[in-house]
């Protein structure tokens, strides 16, 4: 349920791969839109961020003592700042 992805050729630009993600999973949609924004796309819709952000906040907490958790926490802080600015 929820995963509707197209196959993207190996070596395709990251932006192309992200644009191919079509999902109804809020956490995946939020991260996709956030990453596309970081690549120069438009600011993600606040509803998408609001719905998907709790998942990433929990991941950041769960893995806080790891490099992965640190990286996710930086993305979470950026998404939270986007919501505050909207």
Which residues neighbour 42 within 8 Å (Cβ) at sequence distance 6 or greater? 36
Residues of the chain whose pLDDT is less than 50?
Answer: 1
Q: What is residue 31's predicted lDDT score, i.e. its pLDDT? A: 95
Residue 51: enclosing H or E segment and its boundaries?
A: helix 46-62
Q: Whole-prediction pTM value?
A: 0.81
Q: What is residue 25's predicted lDDT score, i.e. its pLDDT? A: 94
CA distance 43 to 45: 7
Which residues neighbour 35 within 8 Å (Cβ) at sequence distance 6 or greater? 14, 18
Q: Which three-class secondary structure state does DSSP give residue 13?
A: coil
């Amino acid at each position: 349920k929820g995963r509707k992805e197209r196959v993207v050729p190996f070596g395709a630009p990251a932006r192309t791969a992200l644009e191919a993600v079509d999902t109804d999973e809020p956490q995946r949609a939020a991260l996709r839109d956030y990453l596309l924004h970081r690549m120069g796309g438009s600011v993600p819709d606040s509803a998408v961020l609001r719905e998907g952000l709790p998942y990433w906040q929990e991941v950041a907490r769960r893995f806080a003592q790891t490099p992965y958790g640190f990286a996710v926490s930086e993305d979470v802080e950026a998404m939270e700042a986007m919501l505050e600015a909207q």
